[in-house]
Amino acid sequence: MALHVVVGKGPVGTTTADLLAGRGHRVRVLSRSGGTSTDAVEHRRVDAADAGALAAAARGADALYNPVNPAYHRWATDWPPVAAALLAAAERTGAVLVTMGNLYGYGSPTGPMAPDSPLAATDLKGRIRVAMWREALAAHEAGRVRVTEARAADFVGPQVPAAHSHLVRQLPALRRGRTAWVVGDPDVPRSWAYLPDVAATLVTLGTDERAPGRAWHVPSAPPRSQRQALTDLAAAVGGPPARVRAVPWPVLRAVALVSPVMREVVDIRHQFDRPYVIDASATTATFGLTATLWDEVVAATAAAVPATA
């Protein structure tokens, strides 16, 4: 059995590890806090910024997965050492490095975003992700390492904590019939990435020799605006019709004066006021991966809300 090493045990890391184990692979999860190993998944305590420790823990691995997720307002300080350590570990071990990316690098889109769309980000977070990818790709093209990256839209699904999802955090309010306050224009179309589809894409990239050397997009259901998605979820949780309103940007800017996280949200306003749609046709054409049907995504996500919530 092949050994697959997953760095981080957040929602993406855990879902990916479970899928790998379910497909019969040996799975090792590395995290700063460690964990309790089972017959299916081994846990080890390793600092993701320690290249030597990562390489030792990933020795003999076929693939090394990077679903690390630093605190939103700490990307500038936390991402560079982690990205460098993972790249070094992949080079030392020969494992293919599979990174969980996002759409920030494309900047303010003028249409659906494909993997070959220009990396035109002007905000700090987008530039950080672009620099990470370009450094990894340069190492790949130099023959030092094999790298690939999965890029996804905003997460949705029962596996996603409320703090990490624009939709999941609204579920208790929808059940109670309260107003769902959202960031940005609630009526612009958006793509949503179902977490099991994210994990399926990562696992495919880590097990298919056609993947390295480029980025791939996670297949997503047809776009739904925040209002449409929340209306669907309200019906699924048995609540009254969704009431969706946008938090005014002046209010968000005021909050940003005291909240580092909100400052980062305000910095990427373009992601919320313009259509933010993903094109994953290359992933489907190459690997045969398709998105879970939206109705199934809604049903699974709604089922995560207790009846008493």
* Helical pair 226-236 and 294-302, crossing angle rounded to 10 deg: 60
The CATH code of the domain that includes 31 is 3.40.50.720
| Residue 34 CB contacts under 8 Å (≥ 6 apart), including other chains | 43, 44, 45
- Report phi then psi at 123, rounded to 5: -80, 160
Which position has the token pair 């030392």? 92
Rg (CA), the chain: 19
Average pLDDT in the chain: 94
Same domain, 59 and 160: no
The answer to whether position 282 is within a domain reads: yes
Distance (Å, whole) CA 116 – CA 127 = 16
Among candidates 117, 156, 157, 154, which has minimal Cα distance to 133?
117
> Looking at residue 308, what is its pLDDT?
47
Mean pLDDT of 96-115: 96
Query: Which amino acid, one-letter code, is at 162?
Result: A
> Looking at residue 72, what is its pLDDT?
87
Whether the predicted model's global pTM rises above the 0.85 cut:
yes
Same domain, 112 and 205: yes
The answer to whether position 121 is within a domain reads: yes
Same domain, 52 and 201: yes
pLDDT band at 305 (very low <50, low <70, confident <90, very high): low
Domain of 45, in residue numbers: 3-153+194-217
| Each residue's pLDDT tens digit, 254-293 | 999 999 989 999 999 999 999 999 999 999 999 999 999 9
The CATH code of the domain that includes 170 is 3.90.25
The answer to whether position 170 is within a domain reads: yes
- Extract long-range pairs of 37-41: CB within 8 Å, 24+ residues apart: 41/17
Which of 23-32, 78-87, 161-170 comes out lowest in average pLDDT?
A: 161-170
Which position has the token pair 């959202």? 182
Same domain, 76 and 178: no
Same domain, 255 and 207: no
Distance (Å, whole) CA 268 – CA 258 = 17
Which two structure tokens, joined as six digits, stand for 285? 């054409």
Same domain, 250 and 129: no
Res. 307: pLDDT tops 70: no
Same domain, 166 and 59: no
Contact assessment for residue 207 and residue 106, using Cβ atoms and an 8 Å cutoff: no
Mean pLDDT of 41-47: 97
Query: Sign of dihedral through CA atoms 136, 17, 203, 171?
Result: negative
Same domain, 161 and 78: no
Mean pLDDT of 294-299: 97
Residue 193 three-state SS:
strand
Mean pLDDT of 294-300: 96
Among candidates 97, 309, 123, which has minimal Cα distance to 211?
97
As for how many domains the chain has, the answer is: 2
Mean pLDDT of 30-43: 94
Contact assessment for residue 19 and residue 203, using Cβ atoms and an 8 Å cutoff: yes
Same domain, 208 and 230: no
Distance (Å, whole) CA 258 – CA 273 = 23
Query: Sign of dihedral through CA atoms 65, 70, 72, 78?
Result: negative
Contact assessment for residue 227 and residue 161, using Cβ atoms and an 8 Å cutoff: no
Same domain, 8 and 134: yes
**Angstrom distances, CA of residue 185 to CA of 6, 143, 222, 263:** 36, 45, 18, 18
The answer to whether position 166 is within a domain reads: yes
Same domain, 293 and 178: yes
Which two structure tokens, joined as six digits, stand for 65? 């997965």
Same domain, 58 and 165: no
> Looking at residue 160, what is its pLDDT?
87
The answer to whether position 279 is within a domain reads: yes
